[in-house]
Amino acid sequence: MPSIRQNVYPDLLPDFRNLAVMARVLVGVNALALAGAFYASAALGPALDRFIRAAAFLEPLLLIELMALFAASPWLARLPYWLGGLSIIVLVTALAGGYHAALRTVAGEAMPSPARTLVLTALVAASLLGYFRLHTKAFSPALAEARLQALQARIRPHFLFNSLNAVLALIRRDPKRAERTLEDLADLFRTLMADVRQFVRLADEIALLERYAEIEQLRLGERLRISWELDAAPSDALLPPMVLQPLLENAIYHGVEPGTGVGDVLVRIERRGERVHAAIENPHLEAGGQRTGNRMALDNIRERLALFFDAEARLETRIANGRYRVEIEIPYRRT
């Protein structure tokens, strides 16, 4: 049986509905055009003049191609990687050919040859796909590490042992609740061992949060008080799995367990336009009562959000008025 670190994750095409992906395409193509202009003419003035003329041809074509890829993105995502990549190259090359033919009727012989336009378009498209593939590969260790942490660290040993001890104490006094708690534990570990590459519905992630909270409530009793503000949460939104649960676990582990009194934890999830905003807040204990190890979970989640959403996702933390707050904001994508 292969280890978790040996799992090979399939290649994924870039999401052309992601603003960061579109920006990378625009910057990449223009950077290649600028490099080509300086290669053709080493002098600054002629090179800039050549680049401006190339940009006048390129920018409308780029916008047309990006709009086409935006519309085709859901269909492309269902194709195998290499077939999808080939489809992208064929699509943008065909658009470039049509665009070139339309302009040629106006500009006449001043246009570059059709063969040159088609070859350059195909080469640039293939180069950008290769860049995005390498960009995704750069984050693939975060996926393996995320799954490894999910199995080894996300459910900390003390949590498992204390939960099982609490269940043992309940078996005779409240067998139904003990059975329900064991079912919650089984659901939690089943989610941990699922493929972290697939999106899940926010409704399912919230249900996992509630199961986890019930287990912690059993352990900590009245010391743990959780406020749920979920009325504005879009249940059909898509997000990576096991993003919110580690944050709630950190809130309890760092903000409630080390203290001696009641720990108030707030969980708020809402939709703000085309964005989904989630905030988890807990008491911030003085330095003497704090535990270490929080940064690893936050850095891991930040890397996973960057992998799934690129620059469109945000994770921020802040401390104010004796409270520690973690906020996540992601694009609103529907099921």
Question: What CATH number is attached to the domain comprising 242?
Answer: 3.30.565.10
Whether residue 62 sits in one domain with residue 187: no
Whether residue 294 sits in one domain with residue 189: yes
Whether residue 161 sits in one domain with residue 86: no
CA-closest candidate to residue 62, choices 30, 35, 17: 30
57-61, 62-66, 109-113, 252-256 — which is least confidently predicted?
Answer: 109-113
Structural domain includes residue 276:
yes
Contact 112, 87 (CB under 8 A): no
| AA letter at 255 | G
pLDDT tens for 217-246 read 887 888 999 999 999 999 999 998 888 988
Structural domain includes residue 145:
no
Whether residue 128 sits in one domain with residue 24: yes
Domain total for the chain? Answer: 2
Whether residue 202 sits in one domain with residue 119: no
Structural domain includes residue 144:
no
pLDDT tens for 141-166 read 555 555 545 444 444 556 677 677 77
Domain containing 98 equals 4-138
Whether residue 89 sits in one domain with residue 18: yes
pLDDT of residue 6: 42
Structural domain includes residue 149:
no
Q: For residue 46, what are the β-bridge partners?
A: none
Whether residue 239 sits in one domain with residue 90: no
pLDDT tens for 96-108 read 999 888 887 665 5
Domain C-terminal end among 106, 138, 170? 138
Whether residue 100 sits in one domain with residue 170: no
Q: For residue 224, what are the β-bridge partners?
A: 263
Whether residue 272 sits in one domain with residue 124: no
Over residues 311-324, the mean pLDDT reads 90
d(CA 239, CA 250): 19
Whether residue 176 sits in one domain with residue 319: yes
Q: Is the pLDDT of residue 335 over 80?
A: no
CA-closest candidate to residue 158, choices 114, 211, 215, 119: 215
Domain C-terminal end among 79, 109, 138? 138
Whether residue 324 sits in one domain with residue 240: yes
Whether residue 166 sits in one domain with residue 133: no
For 199, half-sphere exposure in the C-beta direction (CA atoms, 13 angstrom radius) is: 17
pTM of the shown model? 0.65
